[in-house]
Amino acid sequence: MRVIIEPSAELGSQRAASIVAQLVRKKPRAILGLATGGTPLKLYQELIRMHQSEGLDFSRVTSFNLDEYVGLPPTHPQSYRHFMTENLFRHVNIDIRNTHVPDGRALDYETYGSQYEAMIEEAGGIDLQILGIGRDGHIAFNEPGSSLGSRTRLKTLAPETIRDNARFFGTEEDVPRLAITMGVGTILESKKCILLAFGKDKAEAIAATVEGPVTAQVTGSALQFHRDVVVILDEESASQLQRRSYYDEVEEAHRRLQSGEVK
Ligand code: PGA
């Protein structure tokens, strides 16, 4: 894992956006894995800015979102389809037919989960997966105890996640109890991952994910098995990491390599 600690969420989001932009410029038909929630908002704002002022072209990009609440129609203000439309899709030139968010009203979720997996595979697999993390260490809606080999399926939300997401719904009672989510195994098959976490509420989950043992109790920790993960943090979310000075040294070494100071 490459751990990058930026002074603020703004700078961390810009760093993530530059990685996304670099891929899209190099591979216009890139397959992006997208996330919802508060964390990636600034990243999406930066991508919109890059589209509008630097001509970043999404016209041939395909996207797959991680998850969706069960029971919410795409028009529901808290559905993840609606979130993506409002916070990214309608502001850039992505072809909406190439955007995929799991269907929260599929009914036959077993069949639907396999279909979603097949769509990802047919598209050529995810080139770059954006991830946030829950306070309980979940990635997508893979709550503690999820199999580290899991695929797209139904998942019951943990009480902590229901409490955290109540801020979007008004009350805890209104938060759906079920979600359809890519599995940990699905995420591990993406070619590259960017894990974003900002704020002190995420410090514990990040320490467990980056430096703790790999365990299904913190599904983010499975990323330790992934071949190419960039973890982008702010000072607060990085505050419980033990090996902070080493991560800074790695960044300094990268900087020197890029600037040609090291041959
Ligand atoms: P957040 O959610 O970005 O709204 O903090 C992250 C998550 O639950 O995965």
Residue 260: which pLDDT band, with cuts at 50, 70 and 90?
confident
* pLDDT of 233 higher than 70: yes
pLDDT at 263: 64
User: What CA–CA distance (Å, rounded) separates 137 from 218?
Assistant: 5
46 is catalytic: no
138 is catalytic: yes
pLDDT at 261: 85
In the block, residue with structure tokens 């009203």: 105
pLDDT at 107: 86
* pLDDT of 262 higher than 80: no
100 is catalytic: no
DSSP β-bridge partners for residue 2: 230
The size of the chain, in residues, is: 263
189 is catalytic: no
Choose which residue among 41, 67, 68, 133 to substitute to test ligand 1 binding: the one with the highest number of ligand atoms within 8 A of its C-beta: 133
- In three-state secondary structure terms, 21 is helix
How far are the Cα atoms of 31, 74, 101 from residue 114, in angstroms, in the given order? 18, 20, 14
| Percent of the chain whose predicted confidence (pLDDT) is above 70 | 100
- What is the Å distance from ligand 1's center to 41 Cα? 11
Query: In terms of pTM, does the model score above 0.95?
Result: yes
Question: What digits encode the pLDDT tens for the residues 97-136?
Answer: 999 999 999 989 999 999 999 999 999 999 999 999 999 9
Question: What digits encode the pLDDT tens for the residues 45-86?
Answer: 999 999 999 999 999 999 999 999 999 999 999 999 999 999
CA nearest to 104, candidates 138, 86, 78, 79: 79
Query: If you take atom 2 of ligand 1, which residue's CA is the nearest one?
Result: 37
